[in-house]
Amino acid sequence: MSNNILETCRTIGGGRFIDEASDKLAELIRAVNETGRTGKVELAISVKKATRGGAMHVTGKVKLTRPQEEPMEAMLFADEDGRLLTEDPSQAKLDLRVVQEPSSNLKTITN
């Protein structure tokens, strides 16, 4: 008889519990490496007494909490009517245009 937690984890779900925990941990490590943010893997083991003799019913659950990603955002301006605009309505617009470079013959001077 053994009270080793690793042996118990290996028996839950015929070994699927420990395999899933390992897979979720690898997934978490990749996500943390990509984002630089914190995440976690939680292992829960529940034990309840079975109806017969000294048997125990043991279940396991693996929960992955991935690092939160940066929220998408935009800088917008509100007008008096409550609309959001990409340009500041209180700022005057400038009539900007592309100036074409004059075509001229360049002279090369050699010494």
Are the C-beta atoms of residues 52 and 6 closer than 8 Å to each other?
no
Q: How many residues does the chain have?
A: 111
More confident: 108 or 73: 73
Q: Which residues pair with 78 in a beta bridge?
A: 84
Instruction: For residue 21, give both structure tokens.
Output: 């925990």
Identity of the residue numbered 111: N
Per-residue pLDDT reduced to its tens digit, 30-88? 999 999 999 999 999 999 998 878 899 999 999 999 998 888 889 988 988 998 989 88
Model pLDDT, residue 71: 80
CA pair distance 51, 40, nearest whole angstrom: 35
